[in-house]
Amino acid sequence: MNPLICIRGSASPGHSYTMTPLAVKNAGTSPVDVTISVNPASAATWLKASPARIPPGKSASIPLTLVVPSNAKHGQDSLVLTAGGTRFDVRFSVAAPPPPECVAAGYKAPSGTSPLVFLWLLALLVIVPVAWQVRSRLARRLPEP
C-alpha cells in the first residue's frame, strides 16, 4: 500500500492547496535527485513540487501543492505520484465531498464559517431596523406628558 496524500476538505476550481509533504528517504550510498512523475501524465500540471537532492542515508520532506485548473470538473479524483522511487496515492475532490480514504485517514475539512452565522446576521439586519421603526412609530403616537 502506497502512502496516502490528501488535502483537507474539497478543492475549488482555480485555486491551489498545500498537500501533505512527501516524505522521501535515500537508502542508498550516493546522493539522489528526487524527480516527480505522475500517472496519468495529463495530471502532471495539477501537482507542483520543488526538486530536491537527498544525501545518502537521509530523508527529506518535499512540499507538494495541488493546483486545480479553473475548468476542472467536479468530483473525486486520484493519481499515483512517484518521487525518489516511492509511490504515493494522491486523492482529492473538486467541489465534492472529500474522498472516503482521506476521511478514514483522519483528514478533516478546514473549519469555516457556520451557515448559522449567516442566519444570525440576516436576522440581525432585519430585526434591528424593524424594531427601530416600530419604536419610532410608537414614540410618535404616545402623548407628551
> Can you tell me whether residue 111 is helix, strand or coil?
coil
Q: How confident is the model at residue 144 (pLDDT cuts 50, 70, 90)?
A: low
Domain 4-110 fold is: Immunoglobulin-like (2.60.40)
Write the single-letter amino acid at 68: V
Question: Which residues lie below 8 Å from residue 62, measured CB to CB, with a gap of 6+?
Answer: 21, 22, 24, 34, 49, 50, 52, 83
Q: 0.85 cut: is pTM over it? A: no
Q: In what order do the strands lie in the sheet with 75-83?
A: 4-5, 86-94, 75-83, 36-39
> Can you tell me whether residue 119 is helix, strand or coil?
helix
Read off the C-alpha cell for 107: 483528514
Q: Say what the pLDDT of residue 55 is.
A: 92
pLDDT tens readout for residues 51-60: 888 899 998 8
pLDDT tens readout for residues 18-69: 887 888 888 889 998 887 888 877 777 888 888 888 899 998 888 888 898 8
CB atoms under 10 Å from CB of 30, counted, come to 7
Q: How far apart are CA 26 and CA 31, in angstroms?
A: 8
**Closest C-alpha to 7, from 15, 34, 38, 50:** 15
The domain segmentation of the chain, as residue ranges, is 4-110, 113-145
* Residue spans of beta strands (DSSP E) within 16-115: 16-25, 32-34, 36-39, 47-49, 52-54, 59-67, 75-83, 86-94
